[in-house]
Structure formats: C-alpha cells, structure tokens
C-alpha cells in the first residue's frame, strides 16, 4: 500500500486512515476485492491478504476486544467529525463489514457483528427506543459534544438527542406520519431519490438482512413497510438488496391469547417456526422451547414482554415478540373516617371536673383543637380539672379517606347550695349560747333597756315627797 507517509500506516501493517468512515469503507472494499480475486499463485496474493488481515485485527482491537477505547453499545465507530455529528458514512462501513464476510474473510465476523448493530438499532421500533421512520439522516448525535470516544448508552438516548421534536410520538402511528410529513409508515430522507439518505441507508439495511443477526430482517421489513422506494432503473448506484432474499429463511410466529388481562390472570402463548434448529425464550419468560407449541403464563401483575428467538445453524436467527398488557384498575377509595366525642356531663358547677372521651374509625390520628388533649391516638379520654367557665371542646381525626370533626359543649353553673353560716352575730336572738360566745345584738339591747327602766324606778323611790 503506497503512501507518501508510510509511518502513518504503522509501517508494514498497512493501516489506513483517511479521516472519514466513507473513505475507510471504500478502502476496505477495494483491498478485500484485490485479496479475493488475485489468483492464489500470484506473488501479490499473500501481500493483499496480510494487509487486509492487519486492518481487520486493528478494528477488532479498537471496537470488539473488552475494554477497547471506542467500543460502545451502538456499533458506532471513531469519526473525525465528532460524536455530536456522527455522519451517514456509517452506512458504507456497515455494508463493507458484511461484504468482507460475504467474500469469505471469516476473520471479520466479530467486527461485522459489532458494526451491524448500528443500522439494526436505527431501524428499531418503540421496543428499542429509536423509531425507524426517523432513521435516514445526515448526522446523528451518538455521544456528547466535543467527544470522539464517549458514546450514549442506548439508541433511546441517541433518538432523544437526534430527533427530539418527534421522540415522544408513537413509532409507526399516523401521528408520526403527520409529524414527519411522510406516507403511511414512511421514512424521512426522500424515499424516492436514488441518491439521498434513504437510498444510501438501504445498503446498510440490506447488509443487516444478510448478516442473519437478530433484528436484521425486521429492519429490512420496516424499510419496505410503506411500499415507497426509489426507481433504480436509470441510476442503480444504491439499489442494493439482500442477496439472500428469496432463499430459505428462519420464520417465527408468536401470539398471546388474550393480549390484555386483569391483575393475577394468565395468558396462553402459542408459537410456530420454520427452518429453525432451536428456539429460546427471552424477556419475561426463559428457557429452551420447542420449535412450535403453547404455554400458559403465570399470573401477571404488570405488562410483560415475551420474546422467542429461533436459530438455524445455516440461516441465522429470527425473533418474534408479543406484549401482554395488565389492566391496572384504580384502587377503591379509602373509607371516610368517623368519630364520636362525648363529655361525662354536659353541665357542671364551678370547680368541678369533666371527662372527655373520643373514639374513631378509619383514622390514623386525632388532635384536639386548642390543645386541651395531648393524645394523638384514634381513641382515648382526658379529665379537664376545675371547670370555671362554659366551654366547647373540638377534636379532628384524619384518615386516608378524609377528615372527621366533632365538638361537645360543657356548661358551668354557680352552686345552688348556700355556704354554712358561721357562729356569731347572725345567730337567732332567742337561741341559747352554750358555747360562752359573745352576746347577740338583740340580747344586748334588751339588757340595756332593762337597766334604764330600773334606774328610773330607783330615782322615783328615792325622791322625797313635796308638798
């Protein structure tokens, strides 16, 4: 591989770096073609094979090996333009990865498996987070701005950052058709142009179909779902179709009956397959399954996804899935709380005490208005000492179903029994005083009157008779 700066190719390893994936893809294609068509006895045959192998090994170390600098969950690669403007050049590298395997260079299979993830992921539905209808683009955001080795963790995040204006609309719906301005289940990228993004993406999706990897044939079916496609008769540059189309393929059918149940109910899963050697359950069921059959689920509490992957030793694999929804009935309303509040006596005299008692149902706590009780329990009692004035007591009890309030009034009256009379001036005049107490007022007046009368009598007796 001649170049003015051989050190840039890691010396004799013959690495290439053109600055774009598109250039690298076409270099891979040309080198693979040279290695493939050169006769085995030609002196350059070993040279081409060696350089092709060194480049495959380099990409394996960068994207496939554990801990590789650029390995990610998307199948994306290093791009000089940065991850915030990851370009449509990826289509060509995805096609080239499958082309290497088609030519018999099996050393490229791990790299192919990694690379094909990208077009399969873009052609997904709501199940993987990226809507195929918005897949053909000039650029996607596959990682943070300014980064070339940091990638988003999944296609949902890529979708939200690349097509945020429609990422909340159901994929495949008429609302999505309207939002994108496409035909029923159509795709952006000018589906009728032979040179625009849709046509160029067709190459990558055809490669995904031929790879036999899970989701590859589903991606091709979605590409064709609208029935709109370019007329390649006069310009067939991107008119690539799967070379395995029309040949025997794995087919899988999976149904659920019913597809919507009440909590705790079950559904019956039935499945069939064609040209498969084995089937495996994934999602909300597990284990090896027969090539056809039926099975009843356990009682379901939440929406569940059942996926069946059937594999052929020679034709690859195909999958089908079904979702069983569980109707989430609204819980019954919480019962209304009730309570009673009573007083041991609704009328007391000044200084008396009263006992207040309460009980409640369907409550969590109770509180006294005005702080006359410290208890917060749903039932209890408290004694109010030394009542001096009429008062109304209120209590509020709350529960999940609301609040209940009760009040009770207690009236305070003055005492009707007179206080005891102390001995002394207020005793009756004729009452004998056996206790040696003071003389009453009336008695004293009577004695004074008697003394006055005696003195007058004595004076009359003592005066001489005058003549």
Please give the structure tokens belonging to residue 427: 């005793």
Q: What are phi and psi of 408, to 5 degrees?
A: -140, 140
Percentage of the chain beyond pLDDT 70 is 83
pLDDT of 354-376, one tens digit each?
A: 998 989 999 988 888 866 877 66
User: What pTM did the predictor assign?
Assistant: 0.56
CA terminus-to-terminus distance, the chain: 191
Selected residue with higher pLDDT from 328 and 75: 75
- Give the model's confidence band at 462: pLDDT under 50 very low, under 70 low, under 90 confident, else very high: very low
* 32: pLDDT strictly greater than 90: yes
Mean pLDDT for 447-452 is 64
pLDDT given for residue 419 in this prediction: 58
Question: Do the strands 402-413 and 347-349 form a parallel or antiparallel pair, or are they unpaired?
Answer: parallel
> Does the pLDDT of residue 19 top 70, yes or no?
no
Considering only the C-alpha atoms of the chain, give the largest distance between any 2 of them, rounded to a whole number of Å: 203
pLDDT at 451: 63
Average pLDDT rounded to a whole number, residues 143-169: 93
Residue 381: C-alpha distances to residues 358, 359, 375 (Å): 6, 9, 8
Report how far residue 108's alpha carbon sits from residue 113's, in angstroms, rounded to the nearest whole number: 9
- The average pLDDT across 339-363 equals 91
> Residue 332's pLDDT is what?
79
Instruction: Give the integer Cα–Cα distance in Å for 82 and 89.
Output: 13
Output the CA–CA distances (angstroms, integers) from residue 461 to 47, 174, 386, 451, 453, in the order listed.
182, 146, 71, 16, 13
Length of the chain: 467
Lowest model confidence (mean pLDDT) among 37-46, 64-73, 414-423: 414-423
Please name the residue ranges forming H helices in 103-149: 109-115, 117-122
Looking at mean pLDDT, say which of 208-212, 214-218, 277-281, 432-436 comes out highest.
Answer: 277-281
For residue 454, name the pLDDT band (cuts at 50, 70, 90). low
435 pLDDT more than 70: no
What average pLDDT does range 136-151 have in this prediction?
93
pLDDT at site 432: 44
The CA dihedral of 439, 441, 442, 444, to the nearest 10 degrees, is: 60
Residue 105 contacts residue 217 (beta carbons within 8 Å): no
Query: 208: closest CA among 94, 108, 132?
Result: 94
Distance CA 399, CA 378 (A): 10
pLDDT > 70? residue 84:
yes
Model pLDDT, residue 465 = 44
């Amino acid at each position: 591989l001649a170049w003015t700066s051989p050190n840039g190719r890691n010396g004799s390893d013959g690495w290439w770096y053109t600055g774009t994936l598109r250039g690298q893809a076409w270099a891979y294609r040309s080198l693979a073609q040279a290695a493939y068509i050169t006769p085995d006895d030609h002196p350059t045959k070993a040279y081409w094979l060696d350089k092709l192998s060194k480049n495959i090994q380099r990409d394996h170390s960068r994207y496939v090996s554990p801990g590789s600098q650029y390995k990610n969950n998307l199948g994306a690669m290093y791009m000089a333009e940065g991850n915030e403007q990851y370009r449509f050049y990826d289509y060509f590298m995805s096609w080239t990865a499958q082309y290497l395997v088609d030519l018999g260079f099996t050393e490229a299979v791990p790299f192919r498996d990694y690379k094909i993830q990208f077009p399969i992921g873009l052609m997904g539905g709501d199940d993987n987070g990226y809507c195929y209808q918005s897949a053909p683009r000039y650029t996607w955001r596959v990682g943070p701005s300014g980064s070339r080795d940091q990638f988003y963790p999944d296609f949902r995040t890529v979708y939200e950052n690349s097509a945020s204006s429609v990422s909340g609309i159901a994929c495949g719906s008429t609302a999505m058709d309207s939002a994108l301005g496409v035909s029923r289940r159509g795709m952006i990228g000018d589906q009728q142009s032979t040179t625009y993004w849709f046509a160029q993406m067709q190459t990558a999706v055809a490669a995904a179909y031929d790879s036999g990897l899970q989701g590859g044939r589903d991606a091709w079916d979605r590409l064709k779902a609208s029935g709109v496609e370019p007329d390649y008769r006069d310009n067939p540059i991107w008119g690539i179709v799967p070379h395995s189309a029309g040949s025997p393929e794995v087919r899988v059918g999976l149904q659920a009956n019913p597809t919507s149940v009440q909590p705790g109910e079950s559904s019956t899963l039935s499945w069939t397959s064609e040209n498969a050697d084995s089937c495996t359950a994934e999602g909300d069921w597990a284990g090896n399954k027969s090539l056809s059959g039926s099975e009843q689920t356990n009682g379901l509490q939440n929406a569940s996804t059942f996926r069946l992957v059937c594999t052929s030793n020679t034709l690859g694999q195909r999958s089908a899935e079904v979702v069983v929804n569980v109707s989430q009935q609204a819980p019954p309303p919480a019962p209304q709380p009730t309570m009673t509040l009573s007083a041991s006596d609704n009328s007391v005299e000044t200084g008396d005490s009263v006992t207040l008692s309460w009980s409640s149902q369907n409550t969590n706590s109770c509180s006294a208005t005005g702080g006359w009780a410290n208890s917060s329990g749903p039932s209890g009692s408290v004694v109010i000492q030394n009542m001096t004035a009429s008062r109304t007591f209120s209590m509020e009890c709350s529960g999940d179903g609301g609040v209940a309030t009760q009040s009770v009034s207690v009236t305070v009256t003055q005492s009707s029994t007179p206080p005891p009379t102390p001995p002394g001036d207020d005793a009756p005049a004729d009452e004998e005083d056996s206790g040696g107490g003071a003389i009453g007022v009336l008695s004293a007046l009577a004695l004074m009157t008697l003394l006055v009368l005696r003195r007058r009598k004595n004076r009359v007796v003592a005066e001489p008779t005058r003549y």
